Structure 1
Amino acid sequence: MEVHLLQDIVLILGLSAAVIFLFQRLNLPTIPGYLLAGIIAGPSGMKLVAVSHEVEQLSEIGVILLLFIIGMEFSLKTLKEFRKIVLIGGALQTGGTILAAYGSAFLLGFPWREAVFLGFLVALSSTAIVLKSLQERHELHTPHGKVALSILIFQDIMVAPMILVLPALAGTEAGSGGEDLLLTFLKAVALIGGVFAAARFVIPSLLFQISKTKSRELFILTIVVLCFTIAWASHAVGLSLALGAFAAGLAISESDYSHQATGVVIPFQEVFASFFFVSIGLLADVSFIGQHLGTIIGLTLAVIMVKMILSGASVKALGFPWRTALLSGFLLFQIGEFSFVLSGSGLQLGLISGETYQYFLSVSILTMTLTPFGIQLSHVLAGKFKHSSASGTFAGAAVSVKDLHDHLVIIGMGVGGKNVAKAARLANIPYLVLEADPGIVRLETSNGEPIHFGDGTLPSMLKLVGVPTARVVVITISDPKGVQSMVSSIRSISSSVHIITRVKYVQEGNETLRRGANEAIPEEFESSIAIFSRVLHRYLVPENQIQTYADEVRANNYEMLGSRKHQVLSPLPYMDIPQLNISCVKAGPRKNEIIGKTLREADIRNKYGVNLLAVERDGQYLGDIHPEVCLLPNDLLFLAGTIADINRFQQKIEL
């Protein structure tokens, strides 16, 4: 390694750490901090770091790893559900932006070739910045997060044909014709087909064999090789490295090892991603920005407004509510990193002048810098749509809201919402569902669900599903800001309905309760209860005591969320007998060769090697164990023996 590269790495990481520390203390987004670090260290600042090829390569690795992790957080099944958004939404947004930018540039006097090229540059948004912002805000799996990701995937796919047509657009003899575009398309289809096949037939078994070696080093090497191999293959067929990395993540997401792989990659991704954002800042020409500040600000605002309006309109055209359209528009208003690649090629081909190139760089960096702040503003503005009239039609079962009283309203029809709806059906509780995803509405309508399409933050939609006359409202969506907005809207039209919400983290519960929710169920807290319940079970604590303790923990925790005084938990006894395994197992609901017989008849000690210590039946303990004790269905049996013998016996009695 050359010394100057090591010096650049130290300076970039050190300055980034200092600036990000300051931004964290000021409660500001981190991405503008990285960009500022690049501006300070770059040629226009303190001239500590030059824009070098090596730094650009490190930044590309950061983007690859970021997209790889995003791919692992999704799945091929999820992506299949997004195909309509990818194809139609992406085409509307990208095509509309190209036309708008072309028309504007042409009216300003640019030649038509340059105007088309500027349309290409403006149409692309920043995959790295949008996904990084969504990750930091825990909004990747929200409706607007999924929509934005889908449109970004389409844009990344379009980079390849854009690059291919540049020579033809520039009027050179080396222009790529339709055959080249068709060949690239066929290569892309082959790559995607290969990734799908690998995800189903190759990667799961490969990672299983690797994990059997119990070698952490081998697992890390395998994951890195898979990521960069598929990314390289993507680049080889004319697609972007980032798109290939995303495909690699999708392939691994189908295996049981995606979470372990994510944990392996994240530390590398965080470091290398910083190089990407800093490298963008290095490109800024502060003197040029200062000399043309008014023009640059005007162009920046124009780009933001055009992209925001067209992106939002594209999302709305797909049937999503205004709130999702607004949030998606703010997510996609910046110019993306692949536009820098296109601009460099266009500059070499003479499609844009050096001055136009500097304007492009300045506007791009400003739009990127403003993105995190725009996302924060979008959630504030989204609340202003509460007064909008409800849109959406009733679907599903023939249930009239006028006839419903004391019913249940479920907002969100994901896994949690489906489980609540199933429980309501089994208990004969009348319910209605409100869902903002038109695809889910169509699917659940065909399944006979009483489902309504609309935005749960709008009081008009909440009235449409009868919230004022409902007994309970359950909010199961994964968007924390959306949950809080919904709670406020519900409370604005009903002070008596009982609101139960899902929150991802315990700290989110306080704000949700402050807004008016009666109960906030944290995912991480319930997961911890499930974990310690299994731990206590392994220490032979009786099931009823485990349940009692879990109830106490829940009560105390939810009291703490509500800022009420909480009590000290009572200690639990546990049994620790060296060299002896004691377990509590439950008999099955039906009679078999063991259940329904006496101990003498079943002869479990000789046949299975286990000893019966006690029986719990209908809440009563039977401690006097003798040969004539009869084992009945649903008995709770306390057994002593080896783990293998107890497991073998348990399989018999649970049949």
Structure 2
Amino acid sequence: MHDLPILVNITVALIAAFAGGIVARVLKLPPTVGYLLGGVAISPFTPGYIGDTNTIQQLAEMGIAFLMFGVGLHFSLQDLWEVRRIAFPGALFQLLILTPLVVLVTSLWGWSFPSALIVGLAVPIATSTVVMLRNLMDQGLLNTSPGKAAIGWLVLEDLITVLILVLIPTLSYHASGPIWQTVAIALLKAAAFATIMLIAGTRVIPVLLSRISLTASRELFIVAIVLVALGTAIAASAFFGISLALGAFLAGAVINESILTQQVESEILPFRETFTVLFFVSIGMLVNPIHLLGHLREIALLAVIIIVGKYLLTLLMGIAFRWPERTTLVLAAGRGQIGEFAFILGETGVAVGLLAEEQYSILLVGAIVSIIINPFIFRTLPVTEQLLRKAPLLWARIQQLPDQQAAGDVAYHDHVVIVGFGRVGEHIIKVLGLLHIPRLVVELNVQRIHKLNQKQIPTLYGDVANSDILVHAQVDKARAVVVTIPDETAAEIAVMNARRLSPAVPIIVRATTQAGLHRLFARGATAVIQPELEGGLEIVSLTLSALDFPKEQIIEYIDSVRSDLYDTSKLTPAEQHALEQIAAHRASQT
């Protein structure tokens, strides 16, 4: 085993992350918390197996690269521009107010200015994208005005974080030149690399991937994507002296401008998820629980600044700038936490010697506390709104502009919930529209959501396999639920959730395998359609019709096969009877 250190450490780290993730899900906490605790379990500071910190740290660097590559794939200046009146003043004032506050507090603890500054920058701009998206999805808010404002603000924070990652190493230099010169050189290098990527990269990388996709080799396409993500990150570091994170981010942003975005995202997802988990484990390995017991006061104060400070400051900005009331409340709730970008900033600070591991641990635990508490803050939105309504002066000041109402807030009744907007879902939506039947679409693909919104079709952005989105779809008031997604595992979860919410609603679902068909019925589906087997039945029906057999007897046979769950390996009495009737008709004709 000692001859395979990388393999052993990957396996142990993933086992720890898996165990921690299961515990977190049972406790209804974000899986990220479980991954971090898994890292603590195999750290040098806890009993039991000790992971190789250096090996896992190198794997974590790949996690950072894939994570930032994914951020680049979703980066949209258009989203930012649409909410510029909220995102720009919001981000600016949080930086101007919270950063000096955190720097002052941590300086009183005896921290050096660079250490205090890194933590001070992490608090206002390192809101966790993962946590924010999950909470918005769970509340059915992602494709509403408040959700779009939150996403636009996150996009701006991504840009600021990338800029800070460029500047952090300059604080550690001990060159004889002035600091402004060092900063200017770092910015020029970053600008030069960004220019090359945006001019040459946009002309080379998408064309390269397009041509590789024409080879019909999925393996080559995946290798090419990984090479683009990691190769660009390493080139940025080796030739321009900038961070791996910036290189990977720009690689993703370049691909985002092409038609390959969705395909690249689906192929890179397993790599991104796996190595991002290793990144979180590596962070957990830096935490010394014994040492933190002596810093509970600092952790508690930092957590209060993150949770309460960001919440109240966002709420006050909403009142001052007269943002729409729903947007103000959602932004205040969502911003009371920090996550993966705080870890990346802290990791970079530790790597260049500006932040001690003990200081990083305090930032890390403060972030974990905020991530744990944030979902509960979202659930207090109705209570907060009621309290504000009792203060007429404040409520009148923020209630200036109409908000786009969330689909989950609309009083739906006798509608059809359609999960998935592929070819099958699109056909059903069109037919229901022609029949003037209310419908609500649940979809995870942002481009499809935009297409539906343009047609003014009600939508909810969400993953039925991981969120409470069906609650906001008001399945309990629906006439039917239609699940068209090809992923059988997600379809099973959707069926179970829908049946839990409404024991009587008809659930029509698509299956892709014979075994999946039986499982979906067992989960509570009313009807399950297997397109391939249904196509086979249609071929049988057309063949018998061409042979002039009676239509009624053909339909009887087809219906009997369907009632037997498409099992053609044996004849049921109903199928036997139908075939005998067909044979008897043939005999009577001859």
Q: TM-score range by the shorter chain?
A: 0.5 to 0.7
Aligned counterparts of 1:412 and 1:181: Cα–Cα separation in 2? 46
Aligned match of 2:63: 62
Counterpart amino acid of residue 82 in structure 1 = D
Bigger relative contact order (CA 8 A; separation at least 6): 2
Which of 342, 346, 352 is the aligned partner of 1:340? 346
Aligned match of 2:227: 225
- Please report the RMSD computed on the Cα atoms of aligned residues, expressed in angstroms: 6.1
Q: What's the offset of the Cα at 1:191?
A: 1.7
Q: Note if 1:277 corresponds to 2:274.
A: no
Aligned counterparts of 2:266 and 2:438: Cα–Cα separation in 1? 42
Contact 2:62 2:230 survives alignment (8 Å): no
For residues 463-498 of structure 1, what are the alpha-carbon distances to aligned partners after superposition, in whole Å with 9 as ceiling and x for unaligned? xxxxxxxxxxx654426556344356x97xxx7x85
Contact 2:65 2:248 survives alignment (8 Å): yes
Aligned counterparts of 2:168 and 2:567: Cα–Cα separation in 1? 68
Aligned match of 1:82: 79
Question: Against the structure 1 CA distance between its residues 313 and 444, is the aligned structure 2 distance closer, same or farther, given a 3 Å change threshold?
Answer: farther
Question: Against the structure 1 CA distance between its residues 148 and 232, is the aligned structure 2 distance closer, same or farther, given a 3 Å change threshold?
Answer: farther
Question: Against the structure 1 CA distance between its residues 321 and 308, is the aligned structure 2 distance closer, same or farther, given a 3 Å change threshold?
Answer: same
Question: Against the structure 1 CA distance between its residues 146 and 173, is the aligned structure 2 distance closer, same or farther, given a 3 Å change threshold?
Answer: closer
- SS of the residue aligned with 2:540? coil
Aligned counterparts of 1:70 and 1:535: Cα–Cα separation in 2? 40
Contact 1:204 1:252 survives alignment (8 Å): no
Aligned counterparts of 2:177 and 2:498: Cα–Cα separation in 1? 60
Aligned length: 512
Contact 2:314 2:331 survives alignment (8 Å): yes
Aligned counterparts of 2:264 and 2:91: Cα–Cα separation in 1? 36
Instruction: Answer 1 or 2: which has greater helix percent.
Output: 2
Which of 9, 15, 18 is the aligned partner of 1:17? 15
- SS of the residue aligned with 1:44? coil
Q: What's the offset of the Cα at 1:215?
A: 7.7
Aligned match of 2:586: none
Which of 535, 538, 543 is the aligned partner of 1:537? 535
Which of 296, 304, 309 is the aligned partner of 1:306? 309
Aligned match of 1:607: none
Aligned counterparts of 2:448 and 2:269: Cα–Cα separation in 1? 32
Aligned match of 1:377: 376
Which of 74, 99, 103 is the aligned partner of 1:102? 99
Question: Against the structure 1 CA distance between its residues 22 and 323, is the aligned structure 2 distance closer, same or farther, given a 3 Å change threshold?
Answer: same
Contact 1:148 1:328 survives alignment (8 Å): no
- After TM superposition, list the pairs within 5 Å mapping 1:249-328 onto structure 2: 249=252, 254=258, 259=263, 262-263=266-267, 265-309=268-312, 321=327, 324-325=330-331, 328=334
Aligned match of 2:581: none
Aligned counterparts of 2:328 and 2:555: Cα–Cα separation in 1? 45
Question: Against the structure 1 CA distance between its residues 422 and 101, is the aligned structure 2 distance closer, same or farther, given a 3 Å change threshold?
Answer: same
Q: Note if 1:196 corresponds to 2:202.
A: yes
Q: What's the offset of the Cα at 1:339?
A: 1.8
- After TM superposition, list the pairs within 5 Å mapping 1:12-161 onto structure 2: 13-14=11-12, 16-18=14-16, 20-21=18-19, 24=22, 27-28=26-27, 29-46=30-47, 49=50, 52-68=53-69, 74=74, 79-84=76-81, 91-92=88-89, 94-105=91-102, 108=105, 110=107, 116-125=117-126, 130=131, 144=147, 146=151, 150-151=155-156, 153-161=158-166
Gaps of 5+ in 1: 396-404, 434-438, 452-473, 557-566, 575-623, 625-655
Q: What's the offset of the Cα at 1:280?
A: 0.9
Contact 2:415 2:437 survives alignment (8 Å): yes
Q: Note if 1:163 corresponds to 2:164.
A: no
Calculate the TM-score normalised by the size of structure 2: 0.63
Aligned counterparts of 2:451 and 2:251: Cα–Cα separation in 1? 29
- After TM superposition, list the pairs within 5 Å mapping 1:418-433 onto structure 2: none
Aligned counterparts of 2:504 and 2:214: Cα–Cα separation in 1? 45
Aligned counterparts of 2:196 and 2:97: Cα–Cα separation in 1? 33
Contact 1:431 1:450 survives alignment (8 Å): no
Contact 2:42 2:48 survives alignment (8 Å): yes
- SS of the residue aligned with 1:46? coil
Question: Against the structure 1 CA distance between its residues 525 and 376, is the aligned structure 2 distance closer, same or farther, given a 3 Å change threshold?
Answer: farther
Aligned match of 1:483: 469
Counterpart amino acid of residue 192 in structure 1 = L
Contact 1:37 1:278 survives alignment (8 Å): yes
Question: Against the structure 1 CA distance between its residues 538 and 134, is the aligned structure 2 distance closer, same or farther, given a 3 Å change threshold?
Answer: farther
Aligned counterparts of 1:517 and 1:386: Cα–Cα separation in 2? 32
Aligned match of 1:508: 494
Q: Which has the larger radius of gyration?
A: 1
For residues 27-80 of structure 1, what are the alpha-carbon distances to aligned partners after superposition, in whole Å with 9 as ceiling and x for unaligned? 2454333322332332322385477544322111123234445666x5x7xx35
Aligned counterparts of 2:231 and 2:16: Cα–Cα separation in 1? 35
Question: Against the structure 1 CA distance between its residues 19 and 194, is the aligned structure 2 distance closer, same or farther, given a 3 Å change threshold?
Answer: closer
Gaps of 5+ in 2: 390-398, 405-411, 442-446, 518-527, 546-550, 571-588
Contact 2:311 2:336 survives alignment (8 Å): yes
Q: What's the offset of the Cα at 1:204?
A: 0.9
Aligned counterparts of 1:231 and 1:315: Cα–Cα separation in 2? 38
Q: What's the offset of the Cα at 1:289?
A: 1.0
For residues 132-188 of structure 1, what are the alpha-carbon distances to aligned partners after superposition, in whole Å with 9 as ceiling and x for unaligned? 978998999766585575355324322245327636999972433557535633532
Question: Against the structure 1 CA distance between its residues 419 and 188, is the aligned structure 2 distance closer, same or farther, given a 3 Å change threshold?
Answer: farther
Aligned match of 2:548: none
Contact 1:147 1:328 survives alignment (8 Å): no
- SS of the residue aligned with 1:542? helix
Aligned counterparts of 2:152 and 2:142: Cα–Cα separation in 1? 9
- After TM superposition, list the pairs within 5 Å mapping 1:374-523 onto structure 2: 374-382=373-381, 384=383, 393=402, 476-478=460-462, 480=464, 481=467, 483-487=469-473, 505-515=491-501, 519=505
Contact 1:121 1:342 survives alignment (8 Å): no
Aligned match of 1:637: none
Counterpart amino acid of residue 478 in structure 1 = G
